[in-house]
């Protein structure tokens, strides 16, 4: 497969976002925005035993449609970024058509990762028992989690170009997985660097949401005396910020895919 330059793709991403912002931003807000709100509502924040636990478990179901919107957004925005002259309606239609294949590929990846985690857990537990250790100790549990995270990280990096491959190429679920794996060949360090950049940017955005937006919302709540309205506004603002971050990441990954696929075929 071909290679790419992080700096060059970054410049291309910034240029594309400036040029097509009127087209891309509304799509990102329309798809990623509601998804972020549903994830915020659906992620359980109460500890077990809290009276709200049962309600939170019901709200957790919101994560499922949220993930569908996220995948649809990734597919549609990738098409908008890479297909010249495509309309929003065409991109959304193409994304919907490719959504089942994306879900199938992600499901198989999840099964593979779960199988790897189970095998590592069984092997590690047997080894600990043979040497007379306690598999229930916190130290052993932490080491086991680390062992599982290593192949998970490798798989995440290697398959980072899977979604744009599904968005731009035809074939079945297995074909998509093979293509995603092939696109990651020879680019592990660059893809790892890209992932680290995204994680750093995400951390910065989270700090802004917590300290800047959060402080402004607290002042608004004190001024109006309406805590629920302030909480809702905070959620909407955070969703908009996260949507723009997701837009940038999606376009960046799409342009990385284009560079790798163009050079490597």
- Ranges 52-61, 147-156, 243-252: which has the least confidence: 52-61
pTM as predicted: 0.85
**In 3D, which of 199, 243, 236 has the Cα closest to residue 217?**
236
pLDDT of residue 230: 79
pLDDT of residue 65: 92
pLDDT of residue 46: 45
Residue 125 lies in a domain: no
Residue 129 lies in a domain: no
User: pLDDT at residue 207 above 80?
Assistant: yes
**In 3D, which of 43, 39, 97 has the Cα closest to residue 72?**
97
Residue 70 lies in a domain: yes
| pLDDT tens, residue by residue, 133-148 | 666 777 767 777 888 8
User: pLDDT at residue 229 above 50?
Assistant: yes
| pLDDT tens, residue by residue, 65-82 | 999 999 999 999 999 999
Residue 38 lies in a domain: yes
Residue 182 lies in a domain: no
The two tokens of residue 194 are 């890209």
Name residue, tokens 């095998």. Answer: 119
Residue 114 lies in a domain: no
pLDDT of residue 45: 47
Angle at 198 between CA 203 and CA 104, to 5 degrees: 115
pLDDT of residue 149: 87
Decide if 244 contacts 26 (C-beta within 8 A): no
Backbone angles phi, psi at 84, to 5 degrees: -65, 135
User: pLDDT at residue 34 above 90?
Assistant: yes
Exposure string of 114-149, with b = 16+ CB inside 10 Å and e = fewer, is eebbeebeeebeeebeeeeeeeeeeeeeeebeebbe
- Ranges 57-61, 66-70, 155-159: which has the least confidence: 57-61
Backbone angles phi, psi at 9, to 5 degrees: -65, -35
Domain extent for 236: 6-109+187-264
CA pair distance 25, 69, nearest whole angstrom: 15
Residue 76 lies in a domain: yes
pLDDT of residue 194: 86
CA pair distance 164, 96, nearest whole angstrom: 14
Residue 19 lies in a domain: yes
Q: Give 57's pLDDT tier (boundaries 50, 70, 90).
A: low
What's the total number of domains in the chain? 1
């Amino acid at each position: 497969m071909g290679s790419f330059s992080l700096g060059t793709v970054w410049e291309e991403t910034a240029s594309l976002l400036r040029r097509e912002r009127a087209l891309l931003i509304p799509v990102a807000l329309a798809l990623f925005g509601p998804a972020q709100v549903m994830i915020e509502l659906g992620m359980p924040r109460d500890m077990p035993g809290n009276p709200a636990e049962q309600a939170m478990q019901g709200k957790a179901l919101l994560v499922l449609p949220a993930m569908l919107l996220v995948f649809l957004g990734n597919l549609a925005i990738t098409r908008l970024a890479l297909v010249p002259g495509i309309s929003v309606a065409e991109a959304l239609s193409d994304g919907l058509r490719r959504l089942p294949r994306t879900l199938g590929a992600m499901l198989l990846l999840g099964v593979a990762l779960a199988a790897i985690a189970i095998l590592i857990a069984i092997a590690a537990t047997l080894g600990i028992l043979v040497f007379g250790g306690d598999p229930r100790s916190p130290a052993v549990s932490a080491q086991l989690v680390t062992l599982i995270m290593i192949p998970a990280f490798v798989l995440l990096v290697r398959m980072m170009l899977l979604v744009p491959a599904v968005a731009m190429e035809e074939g079945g679920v297995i074909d998509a997985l093979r293509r995603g794996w092939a696109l990651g060949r020879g680019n592990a360090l660059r893809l790892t660097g890209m992932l680290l950049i995204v994680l750093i940017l995400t951390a910065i955005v989270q700090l802004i949401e917590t300290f800047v937006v959060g402080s402004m919302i607290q002042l608004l709540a004190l001024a109006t005396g309406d805590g629920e309205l302030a909480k809702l506004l905070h959620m909407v603002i955070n969703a908009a910020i996260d949507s723009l971050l997701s837009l940038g990441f999606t376009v960046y990954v799409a342009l990385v895919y284009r560079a790798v696929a163009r050079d490597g075929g």
